[in-house]
Structures are given as C-alpha cells and as structure tokens.
Amino acid sequence: MGAIDEFISKIDYLNIDKNKKEMWNKIKISILFKNMGNPEIFLLALALGIKHGKRKRISKSSTLFRIRELRNDIWIILSIGFSELDDMSVFETTKSARMALRVCEEYANSGIEILNDLTKKPTEFVVNLIEEMLNTR
C-alpha cells in the first residue's frame, strides 16, 4: 500500500468550519445544486477560494463527506496542496498529505462564502459564476 492509499484509509472525512456548515447545507439543497454531490460542491468552493487567493483556517471542524467519495479527484486536491506547500514529500507521507488536504479545506472554507453569495440570485447564478471565474482581478 502506497502512502496515498494509506493516507486515504486513515483520513475518513473532508471538513469545513462548523460555523459554515449551515451555509453549506443551504447550498447543497438549493435547486442550483440538485444534481451535484458534496464532492462537486467542495471542488467548486475550492476553485473559488483559489481564484480569490483566499484561505480561511478552520477553527472548529465539521465533517462534509468521506474522502473516498472524491475517487480520482483526490489527485487534484493533493496536487493543489503540493503546489501550495511546494514540498515534494506531500506524496511520500501521510502527515504531508494531510497538510496538503488542509490547504484545500481552507480554500474551500473561503470559497463556500463566495459560492453562497453567488446563489443569492438563482436566476443569474450561471452568468455570475462564469463571470466570477473569468474575472482577472
């Protein structure tokens, strides 16, 4: 078993700040996301957090979903963490992989606020999301 497989087997869940769990649940049940699961929403929040260059520490964690639900997307998350940490050992130890995962949780923790703001006008959501992602501030 490689370090990544060992890591996935030891870390059960991805987390978000407990204070944002209600916001997450509101987004999750929104008509805009009815065909999306937690992993897809997490990746979207992650992308928005990265786009804005904002990471927010998780002061008190609340579980979102099992990391195994990401399937092959776990490599996206670990690659982002590797890039952010600039440390090749992220692929060698479970401790480093956990640090990489924490980076992504912090980006998603920030991005969920942006996503929440975008969902306030459901009829304009897609246009606003596209503009948000293409904006080169």
Amino acid 65: pLDDT: 86
92-97 LR contacts (CB < 8 Å, sep 24+): 92/3, 93/3, 94/3, 94/6, 94/7, 94/10, 94/11, 97/3, 97/4, 97/7, 97/11
Nearest to 100 by CA among 11, 20, 19: 11
Name 94's Cβ contacts closer than 8 Å, sequence gap at least 6. Answer: 3, 6, 7, 10, 11
As a whole-number percent, the residues of the chain with pLDDT over 70 amount to 84
Predicted confidence band at 113 (pLDDT cuts at 50, 70, 90)? very high
DSSP bridge partners of 48: none
Residue 118 corresponds to which tokens in the numbers above? 């975008």
Model-level pTM greater than 0.95?
no
Predicted confidence band at 1 (pLDDT cuts at 50, 70, 90)? very low
Q: Which residue has the tokens 């501030």?
A: 137
Nearest to 3 by CA among 109, 107, 82: 82
Q: Please write the tens of the pLDDT for every residue from 2-58.
A: 555 666 666 678 888 999 999 999 988 887 888 888 899 999 999 999 988 999 999
Amino acid 19: pLDDT: 93
